[in-house]
């Protein structure tokens, strides 16, 4: 029966639980690029598309809609011919960019270390892990 499992944790999803939910705002494949690109200033649809290598029209649209819905950016339609649409970070969007900065910096600073770790891990065939007795 209850061996030593009295360590029940009644709050597995801690206060930071919704942090995941928020992470999902930028954890998809393209949001980070879009947000980063808008960090330089307002952009139009095709400007964004050109600035983000490999993104499809569909995914750019989907990504922009999601970010707009979450209040990260605004969409402004210029009623002219041909139509222009300008995307711009909201104040909250700007603070998000700032909040991601440490992570970006961490990544650039640890790129080589991560590559090395991967090489080593793959080299040893994942067979060998440190063991003690």
Partner DNA sequence: CTGAATCCACCGGGATACTG
Partner DNA sequence: CAGTATCCCGGTGGATTCAG
Chain contacts with DNA (rule: CB under 7 A): 28-30, 44-47, 54-59, 61-62, 64-65, 75, 77, 82-85
- Give the pairing type, strands 84-89 and 73-78: antiparallel
Smallest gap from Cβ 56 to DNA, in A, equals 4
Q: Which residues bind a second copy (CB under 8 A)?
A: 7, 9, 12-23, 25-29, 32-33, 36, 50-54, 65, 68-71, 74-80, 92, 95-96, 98-108, 110-111, 113-114, 116-118, 121-122, 126, 129-133
User: Please, which residues bridge with residue 74 across strands?
Assistant: 88
Smallest gap from Cβ 122 to DNA, in A, equals 14
- Taking the C-alpha atoms of residue 57 and residue 93, their distance in angstroms, rounded to an integer, is 22
CB under 5 to 8 A by kind: which of DNA, a second copy, none does 58 bind? DNA
| Burial of 120: CB neighbours in 10 Å, binned 0-12, 13-18, 19+ | exposed
Where does residue 90 fall: left (phi above 0), alpha (psi -120 to 50 degrees), or beta otherwise?
beta
């Amino acid at each position: 029966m209850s061996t030593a499992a009295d360590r029940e944790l009644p709050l597995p999803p801690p206060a930071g639980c919704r942090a995941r939910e928020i992470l999902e705002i930028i954890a998809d494949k393209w949001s980070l690029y879009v947000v980063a690109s808008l960090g330089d200033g307002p952009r139009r649809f095709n400007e964004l598309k050109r600035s983000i290598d490999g993104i499809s029209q569909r995914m750019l649209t989907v990504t922009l809609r999601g970010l707009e819905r979450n209040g990260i950016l605004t969409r402004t339609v210029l009623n002219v011919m041909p139509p222009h649409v300008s995307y711009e970070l909201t104040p909250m969007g700007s603070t998000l960019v700032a909040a991601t900065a440490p992570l970006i910096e961490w990544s650039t600073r640890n790129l080589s270390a991560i590559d090395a770790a991967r090489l080593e891990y793959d080299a040893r065939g994942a067979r060998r892990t440190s063991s003690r007795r």
